[in-house]
Amino acid sequence: MSTRPQRDYRPGKLLCLVLALLAGLSGLSACAFPGIPATSAQLPVVPAATQATPLPPIRLPQDEAPHQDLTEWWYYTGHLQARASDGSLRRYGFELVFFQVLRSDLPPVYAAHFAISDISRGQFHFVQQRVLQLEPTSAGATSQGGFQLQVGPWRLQGRNGQDQLAAVMPDYALQLQLQALKPVVLHNGNGLITYGLAGFSYYYSRTRLAASGLLIDHGQRLTVTGLAWMDHQWGNFLTLAGSGWDWFSLQLNDNSELMLYLIRDASKQVISTYVSFIDAAGQDHLLPASALHVQTLATWLSPATHARYPSGWQITIRDARFSARLILQPELKDQELVTYQSTGNAYWEGAVSIAGQSDGHPVNGEGYVELTGYAPA
């Protein structure tokens, strides 16, 4: 069961005009990535002299704050549990994400999504917000580095892996404190991913965050604990119309993690594969794309968008440094966010359970999967 606004899911004319102006493009299609206006156009070719200048490395905590780039997001997902007053164990998944979109000299647009997977009830709920910042603000960075962001009543704040989150929706409110249990992971070794003419992206993750705090569930105050994952990505990049990705963040009970993604082009062919294994000591191992095989076990048809999403996966990784065979099952079939009013797209992002083997030993765990590019424009 999902809680969905009783309204037309098509993007309104005002939103389309705002996004088109911000993108500086005449033909704007649905977003391939949550929050990112997709286009069939390409970024201008960078002059050769400029290409010779290397991009600066990531600096933390300074680079936790917003940047003056086309696209940026701060992404939190996680699993929580609490003991209710009747003694029963309540289980939840959550997603809280802030997007910043900058185009030309126009004011920045901020969008945000908040979702609760109420696993014990078998229900999924989400809400969305969008803010056009017309006045200058000092929000974004703190004097000691780190970041503080607010979209409507929702807030994100953090520095060096000590983060605070707060968000509210009908029947639920969440306040969390997060503490990083491992060093930050700079993806691709240095935190920089290049997309050719599509631009570049800085990208780092905190793959194991201890979570504690308060969840109000239908008026009942619950003390929650659990694990969370945080992604921060920014850069001057755009996505191509019709493209999408399958993204997996997996936390295993042997204190290791996996981040995997498959990027598809407009013809639905996989054009990029990323395989990262973070061992128990926190060291990141970048594995070759050939080591990964993903098999879809079932599909789910959305009653809201009529998109057909993968639903259940067998993940097989074979490499001299790491091998695994994992079965992922959605905690709820319907974990689709229909967010046309805020970011112009719909996508599936949900909590999954994990069971299988890692380096020959039985493991289980929890994770999140994001599926984009499946819903119609």
CATH number of residue 315's parent domain:
2.40.370.10
Q: Do 298 and 253 have their domain in common?
A: yes
Output the pLDDT for position 54. Answer: 77
Torsion of CA 186, 192, 193, 195, to 10 degrees: 160
Q: Is residue 64 within 8 Å of residue 56, measured between CB atoms?
A: no
In a domain, 15, yes or no: no
Output the pLDDT for position 200. Answer: 82
Q: Do 283 and 372 have their domain in common?
A: yes
In a domain, 13, yes or no: no
Q: Do 155 and 229 have their domain in common?
A: yes
Between the alpha carbon of residue 63 and those of residues 138, 162, 298, the distances in Å are: 16, 15, 40
d(CA 10, CA 253): 41
Question: Residue 153's domain spans which residues?
Answer: 69-134+146-238
Output the pLDDT for position 53. Answer: 61
Of the three residues 184, 203, 238, the one that is the final residue of a domain is 238
Q: Do 122 and 265 have their domain in common?
A: no
Q: Do 249 and 224 have their domain in common?
A: no
Q: Do 210 and 355 have their domain in common?
A: no
Beta bridge partner(s), residue 231: 75, 205
Output the pLDDT for position 31. Answer: 36
Q: What percent of the chain has pLDDT over 90?
A: 71
In a domain, 47, yes or no: no
Q: Which residue positions in the chain have pLDDT lower than 70?
A: 1-53, 134-143, 195-198, 238-241, 377
CA 215 to chain centre: 21
d(CA 327, CA 325): 7
Output the pLDDT for position 194. Answer: 78
Tokens of 224: 């929650």
Contacts of 306 (CB under 8 A, 6+ apart): 376
Report how many helices (DSSP H) and strands (DSSP E) the chain contains, helices first.
3, 29
Q: Do 193 and 105 have their domain in common?
A: yes
Tally of domains in the chain = 2
Output the pLDDT for position 50. Answer: 41
In angstroms, the first-to-last Cα distance of the chain is: 24
In a domain, 1, yes or no: no
In a domain, 28, yes or no: no
Q: Do 223 and 265 have their domain in common?
A: no
Q: Do 75 and 194 have their domain in common?
A: yes
d(CA 114, CA 167): 7
Whose tokens are 């306040």? That residue is 175
Between the alpha carbon of residue 186 and those of residues 59, 231, 318, 360, the distances in Å are: 11, 10, 23, 28
Tokens of 129: 């917000």
In a domain, 195, yes or no: yes
* Count of CB atoms situated within 10 Å of the CB of 217: 20
Q: Do 81 and 230 have their domain in common?
A: yes
In a domain, 247, yes or no: yes
CA-based nearest residue to 250, from 211, 284, 219, 278 = 278
64-103 confidence digits (pLDDT tens): 999 999 999 999 999 999 999 899 999 999 999 999 999 8
Q: Do 194 and 248 have their domain in common?
A: no
Output the pLDDT for position 259. Answer: 98
Residue 48 Ramachandran class (φ > 0 left, ψ -120 to 50 alpha, else beta)? alpha
In a domain, 139, yes or no: no
CA atoms within 13 A on the CB side of 137: 16
CA 237 to chain centre: 16
**Mapping DSSP to helix (H, G, I), strand (E, B) and coil, where does residue 373 land?**
coil
Output the pLDDT for position 145. Answer: 79
Q: Do 260 and 214 have their domain in common?
A: no
Contacts of 371 (CB under 8 A, 6+ apart): 244, 245, 246, 247, 309, 310, 347, 348, 349
Contacts of 214 (CB under 8 A, 6+ apart): 173, 174, 175, 221, 222, 223, 224
pTM over 0.75: yes
